[in-house]
Structure 1
């Protein structure tokens, strides 16, 4: 088998795994939301928005051609599996497309909410992308565990050189929690049921392959 064929087979396998994992995420989401009371409603008179002023923009093109919004869960295996490709696409298209992250912790993941809090607390000290990268890197250590991993997240924050007193205060702050609830509420209102979910210029994407993803970005970036 040629190297090209082998590489293509690996890519196909990755997309097949992502499809299975995303489907599992949808199942978990449906199961837990069916059996749990509805969360508190977002503030009245505030319409769902795909992008808000405080949304995390991880690329900042001088001349924006399009926006790609990703709703993600740091405990989600599909999100972790997709991350290398997303990073690759950021390098290729980040000078023309604004990549935007929004929190969407799934209820089937015991530590996804705490992970989002850790990331948002880190973002308040300018370390959003660093904490995001570390959580995906270490996900096999803490993901799918039922006991709290908040102490591990705090240790990672220390390793990143954050002011821990400010980090602790941010994690505990109601404003930080509300920031994540707002993303979650927007995602639900926009039809997000699993992660990762991508929107390109306002259109929710149904992705079947890397080639299709690249083609859509190519067209949007022209």
Structure 2
């Protein structure tokens, strides 16, 4: 092997490493692990990984023209900032779009996984949507804490009028933690690295999830 060839191969290896590092660290929102090997591209997201039978669907459209799926972490500030945009979109396009949310708590958040279990436990009593809203509306009161906020979350459950004995049991149940993990596993299989990650009709949304950006994509899809 000539000296020039050795140098060329060395430079190529360095450039490949740089490109890989940029790909892993890019994008918006909080980040976690890199996608699993062989994860499908956003344009080819399998429908069965995006929405399952037990996924929490907050809005439903009969025509199926627009489906939004958000992988979120209740403690993620970017998710909290996206929440009012999604609520405005849901209200404006009620009955014309499908919107499902999936859990994707990040390991760097002390109460992210707990908050997901809180929402799931509330869902066992038909109050998922109400708790989903409460968690985001109160995020500044509990997010980024270094200690457990379970007592605070129990207070939210009481405000919603939940059966507290059943709620505590569901919150601690292994099945609840497994339900959260199942969403997380689907996200990892889809290549989700951070939150919020939103899929629009099966393709990963590359634009910022602002009201204007979402509205433009929805209008175009509904008109097609």
Shorter-chain TM-score range: 0.7 to 0.9
Query: Matched residues in 2 for 1:118 and 1:86: separation?
Result: 21
Over alpha carbons, which structure has the higher Rg?
Answer: 2
Deviation at 1:63, TM superposition (A): 3.4
Within a 5 Å distance, the mapping from 1:1-222 to structure 2 comes to: 23=28, 25-26=30-31, 29-30=32-33, 49-208=49-208, 210-222=211-223
Query: Matched residues in 2 for 1:67 and 1:24: separation?
Result: 21
Residue 191 of structure 1: SS of its match in structure 2? coil
Check whether the contact 1:64–1:97 (CA below 8 A) recurs between aligned residues. Answer: yes
> What residue ranges of structure 2 are gaps of 5+ in the alignment?
1-26, 37-46
Check whether the contact 1:63–1:95 (CA below 8 A) recurs between aligned residues. Answer: no
Superposition CA RMSD, Å: 1.9
Once the two structures are superposed, residues 133-170 of structure 1 have per-residue CA deviations (whole angstroms, 9 ceiling, x without a partner) of 11111111110011000111011101110001110111
> What residue ranges of structure 1 are gaps of 5+ in the alignment?
1-21, 39-46
Check whether the contact 1:93–1:221 (CA below 8 A) recurs between aligned residues. Answer: no
| Regions of 4+ moved over 6 Å | none
TM-score (norm 1): 0.78
Question: What count of residue pairs does the alignment treat as equivalent?
Answer: 185
Q: Which structure is richer in relative contact order (CA contacts within 8 A, separation 6 or more)? A: 2
